[in-house]
Amino acid sequence: MTLRATLRLALAALVRNKARSLLTMLGIVIGVAAVIVTVAIGAGARISVQSSIDSLGSNLIVVQPGSVTTSGARSGFGGASTLTPADGMAIASLPGVASVSPVVTVRTQVVAGGNNWQTTVSGVAPTYTFVRLQSVASGRFFSQNEVASSAKVAVLGQTVVDQLFPNGGSPLGSTIIVKGAPFSVIGVMTPLGQSAMGQDQDDTVLIPYTSAMERLTGETTVNSLLVSAASSDDVDLAQQEITQLLEQRHRIVPPQGDDFQVRNLQSIAQAASQTSAVMEFLLAGVAAVSLLVGGIGIMNIMMVSVTERTREIGLRMAVGAPGRTILHQFLTESIVLATIGGFIGVAIGLAGTALVALLARWPTAVPFQWVVASVVFAALVGIFFGYAPARKAASLHPIEALRFE
Amino acid sequence: MHVLSVRDLRKRYVLGESAVQALDGIDLTLERGEFVAIMGPSGSGKSTFMQIAGMLDTPTSGEYLFEGADVSSLNADARAAIRSRRLGFVFQAYNLLPRTTALDNVELPMVYAGVPDAQRRQTALEKMTLVGVDRLADHHPNQMSGGQQQRVAIARALVNDPALILADEPTGALDTKTSADVMRILARLNEEQGSTIMLVTHEPDIAAYAGRIVTFRDGRIVADVRNDRRAA
């Protein structure tokens, strides 16, 4: 018998028992829908973690001073004052490094006209925009010359603009007072929104790091150095180079510990995306178990169906159906059931995913390979669990089957 | 050429400790165009003979020539192939597929014989017209009376132009009047179409429609008589 003829026989048998066919495929429908929704949510979570990490900067490496021990109390990393702009210059000339910006941060009150606002004032270099992948929305960023001359110029984050200039209008050309020193506003940064940790990344004022050191901190050291590796492949290499270079420059010899710390966000990103990948597989595993249960459901109903249709099988055999044709028919029935169930499951899964995205505002993504995989898996479940009932049907003896009451 | 010719046909069933000799040396020949009734009490072996003749079962020993070819030791698939092309079955319980139209039921043997769609439909309608159920083509079995169902089943037995039609107690579930209708159809098919029919029954009234009556007892043929006064 041809495949097409067998398929038609199976379809006719399934249509004859619509209600039972639908109930039989329910397990597969729910299983596949569960796989699609869980995978979509898992993949969405991973993508959003990745993109919030990407938003921190390109191939970012952070160099912070080490801890310092004062009267037995050890400060955390960044407590020591060991990093200088000169360290930053040296790092910038390393082959694996694209650019470097020193960061000097001071949390202080900023005043403009009648408004004031406490914010983080960061002294940085012009390379900061490149390292953080952030551009200027209006006006301009300060130049290398303005850094060299410790110019009193400032670029504001959007939150600061909103708080200090609540009446709207461009803040460009206005003057803000930081710790008694007037800075003229020359630019506004494009908003970044919240960081992965929930910090408002736009609540900031950027000034040349030289100005920050001279006028705000009065120190010759910086809080951190933001380094951008030449490429994402170079991050680990750059990290090693920086460590070696700073050990040399700071004259650190073992067993003395480093007085600085080099961290790269790539490892954080990897850990985060690995965590969500594990979650994704775990969820998919749970969903796959429900698919398996759906398969057992198919096997049960097909077994019952074979018993119930014993006389039909006997008749088909009597009028000339060989055993293997009966086997093929029942096997095809369960494959068709499972596959249709798989497609319905995908449709419901996609709808459910859209609903989750809409109602819970949860980021979702449906990886195409999972859609294909779950339909294929459903079909395999149909073959696997349909075989035993089909075998049973094919092994019936026509006379006994015809006599079956 | 004989449609069916058996020589010393034996069938032995072993049920646990005891064995039953269902057929104990049957010799029988059926000519083309014959209408034979097999009679006998239950346990006489007539049903067993019918099943072996219909190639639903195999004999323990003996020779079975169907249309001149030895079929006594064919495997299940080969027997299925002959059933689908050369044999027609009519059962006591009709055995129509439920929730399936009469037309689709009649087409069923042709599905397994590999007849193309269009020809299946045409042949099925022809045979349904022959037995007078063409207007029931779209009905499901549960919308038909017993007599109508049995006539649909007879149409189904005819679609492959079988060499032999085997009817196993075809009127067993029908009342007297409907039984007579069904038997008249079989008799007419035999006379007008030249169909070779072998009928199993234990009712003399029913056997009376056949042209030859063979009586079984204890697995043997005890009488084989010509019936010249056929019922009509």
The model's pLDDT over A306-348, given as tens digits with 9 standing for 90+, comes to: 998 999 999 999 999 999 999 999 999 999 999 999 999 999 9
In the predicted structure, residue A57 carries a pLDDT above the cut 80: no
Residue to substitute from A319, A326, A329, A402, interface B, most B β-carbons within 10 A: A319
Q: Distance between CA B94 and CA B91 in Å, rounded?
A: 5
pLDDT of residue A388: 92
* Residue A264 or residue B223, greater confidence: B223
pLDDT of residue A191: 87
Share of chain A above pLDDT 90, in %: 29
pLDDT of residue B130: 93
Q: Are residues A254 and A233 in the same domain?
A: yes
| A240 belongs to a structural domain | yes
Chain B CB within 8 Å of residue A325 CB: yes
For the segment A123-129, the average pLDDT, to the nearest whole number, is 90
Core vs surface per residue B188-219: b (16+ CB within 10 A) or e:
ebbeeeebbbbbbbeeeebbbbbbbbbbbeeb
Q: Are residues A149 and A282 in the same domain?
A: no
Strands (E), chain B: 2-15, 18-31, 35-39, 61-66, 69-70, 87-90, 164-168, 197-200, 212-217, 220-226
pLDDT band of residue A73 (cuts 50, 70, 90) is low
| A62 belongs to a structural domain | no
CB A225 within 8 A of CB A125: no
Q: Which residue of B has its CA nearest to A320?
A: B84
- At A102 the three-state DSSP class reads strand
| Contact: A323, B84; criterion CB under 8 Å | no
Chain A CB within 8 Å of residue B140 CB: no
CB B38 within 8 A of CB B222: no
Q: Are residues A216 and A85 in the same domain?
A: yes
Q: Are residues A254 and A305 in the same domain?
A: no
Q: How far is B114 from chain A (nearest CA, A)?
A: 7
Domain spanning B33-59+72-226: CATH 2.40.10.10: no
| Contact: B109, A399; criterion CB under 8 Å | no
Q: Are residues A221 and A328 in the same domain?
A: no
- Looking at A206, A226, A258, which one is the last position of a domain? A258
Residues of A (354-383) whose Cβ lies below 8 Å from B: none
Question: What's the pLDDT tens digit per position in A173-221?
Answer: 889 999 888 999 999 998 887 765 667 888 999 999 999 998 888 888 8
Residue to substitute from A3, A14, A308, A315, interface B, most B β-carbons within 10 A: A315
Q: Distance between CA B193 and CA B187 in Å, rounded?
A: 10
**Minimum-distance CB partner of A16 among B85, B100, B114:** B100
Q: Distance between CA A295 and CA A216 in Å, rounded?
A: 70
CB B137 within 8 A of CB B103: yes
**Minimum-distance CB partner of B84 among A320, A399, A402:** A320
Q: Which residue of B has its CA nearest to A17?
A: B99
Q: Distance between CA A258 and CA A262 in Å, rounded?
A: 10
pLDDT band of residue A71 (cuts 50, 70, 90) is low
Q: Are residues A197 and A111 in the same domain?
A: yes
CB B163 within 8 A of CB B55: no
The chain-wide mean pLDDT, for chain B, equals 93
**Minimum-distance CB partner of A322 among B76, B99, B108:** B76
Chain B CB within 8 Å of residue A308 CB: no
Chain A CB within 8 Å of residue B109 CB: yes
pLDDT of residue A208: 94
Q: Which residue of A has its CA nearest to B48?
A: A399
| Contact: B77, A312; criterion CB under 8 Å | no
Q: Distance between CA A200 and CA A162 in Å, rounded?
A: 13
Q: Are residues A88 and A35 in the same domain?
A: no
Max Cα distance, chain B (Å): 53
Domain assignment of residue A20, given as a range: 3-52+271-403
Domain boundaries, chain B: 33-59+72-226
| A311 belongs to a structural domain | yes
pLDDT band of residue A77 (cuts 50, 70, 90) is low
Question: Which of A252-266, A286-300, B22-36 has the largest mean confidence?
Answer: B22-36
| Contact: A398, B84; criterion CB under 8 Å | no
pLDDT of residue A79: 58
| A74 belongs to a structural domain | no
Contact residues, chain A, for B80 at CB < 8 Å: 317, 320-323
* Count of pairs with CB atoms under 8 A, one residue in A, one in B: 64
The chain-wide mean pLDDT, for chain A, equals 85
Q: Are residues A305 and A240 in the same domain?
A: no
Contact residues, chain A, for B93 at CB < 8 Å: 311
| Contact: A325, B97; criterion CB under 8 Å | no
Contact residues, chain B, for A324 at CB < 8 Å: 77
pLDDT band of residue B71 (cuts 50, 70, 90) is very high
Q: Are residues A230 and A98 in the same domain?
A: yes
CB B84 within 8 A of CB B109: yes
Q: Distance between CA A104 and CA B57 in Å, rounded?
A: 97
| Contact: B81, A12; criterion CB under 8 Å | no
Q: Distance between CA B202 and CA A276 in Å, rounded?
A: 77
Chain B CB within 8 Å of residue A403 CB: no
Question: What's the pLDDT tens digit per position in A227-268?
Answer: 888 877 778 888 888 888 888 888 887 777 778 888 877 666
Which CA distances in Å does A123 have to A128, A136, A256, A265? 10, 16, 31, 21
Chain A CB within 8 Å of residue B99 CB: yes
In the predicted structure, residue B24 carries a pLDDT above the cut 60: yes
Chain A CB within 8 Å of residue B117 CB: no
Q: Are residues A14 and A96 in the same domain?
A: no
| Contact: A16, B99; criterion CB under 8 Å | yes
Q: Are residues A106 and A251 in the same domain?
A: yes
CB A81 within 8 A of CB A250: no
For the segment A135-141, the average pLDDT, to the nearest whole number, is 89
pLDDT of residue A319: 93
| Contact: B95, A320; criterion CB under 8 Å | no
pLDDT of residue A392: 92
For the segment B19-33, the average pLDDT, to the nearest whole number, is 94
Total number of domains constituting chain A? 2
**Minimum-distance CB partner of A311 among B95, B99, B112:** B95
In the predicted structure, residue A144 carries a pLDDT above the cut 70: yes
CB A362 within 8 A of CB A44: yes
| A73 belongs to a structural domain | no
Q: Are residues A319 and A293 in the same domain?
A: yes
- Looking at A229, A258, A287, which one is the last position of a domain? A258
Which CA distances in Å does A210 have to A123, A175, A303? 7, 19, 82
pLDDT band of residue B38 (cuts 50, 70, 90) is very high
